[in-house]
Amino acid sequence: MDYKIAVLGTGAVGKSSIVVRYIRDTFTESYDPTVEDSYQKPDEFDGKACILDILDTAGMAEYSSLRTQYMEKGIGFVLVYSIVQTKTFQEIEPLIKKIYEVKQKDPATCTIPIVIVGNKVDLDAPGEREVTKEEGEQLAQRYHCRFLEASAKTNVNIRETFSQLVNAIDNSEFKH
């Protein structure tokens, strides 16, 4: 089965880094905001072979028609914010609402497969963290999303993110 996944979130939160860590198991400190690519990754979760078709998005400052297209095509979504930047967390709920709107679904009656990822957890230190784990969990609960804190840099919860999403898709009405 082919899992169409889109990775969304504000610029510089680590979307590309998460995807590259998962696909190639590498990490770089450099930042290219323009990178936008799709990847096909064969993997196996719970003994079941699958192909992840991952779209790493960029340049999502406003609700462009391109973003609407990503939302239409995706079956599952990874929504990324940075735990050291509140502003990036505040953009997650509007993204969730937009996904439900584009798919013409009501979060009260339907669950779209979404994993919310609080990235850069390696930077967690007193005075550095701006978003608590509880805030992330509460938002996820409200929309029946999965939630993980992760680090592309130190490879924490990266494969787990995609494993959770595949599991959420398998348990949803969206699988085909």
Contacts with Mg ion, residue ranges (CB under 5 A): 15-16, 35, 58
* Residue 126, helix vs strand vs coil: coil
Count of CB atoms within 10 A of residue 47's CB? 5
Contact criterion met (CB below 8 Å) for 120 and 52: no
Q: Which range binds ligand GDP by CB under 6 A, 15-23, 43-51, 100-108, 130-138?
A: 15-23
Q: Quick one: what does residue 152 bind among ligand GDP, Mg ion, none, with the CB cut-off 5 to 8 Å set by partner type?
A: ligand GDP
Select from 11, 51, 94, 141 the one that contacts ligand GDP (CB under 6 A): 11
By the rule CB under 6 A, 153 interacts with ligand GDP: yes
**Pairing, β 48-56 against β 37-45:** antiparallel
As a whole number of angstroms, the distance between CA 56 and CA 107 comes to 24
Residues that bind ligand GDP (CB under 6 A): 9, 11-17, 28-29, 31, 33, 119-120, 122-123, 151-153
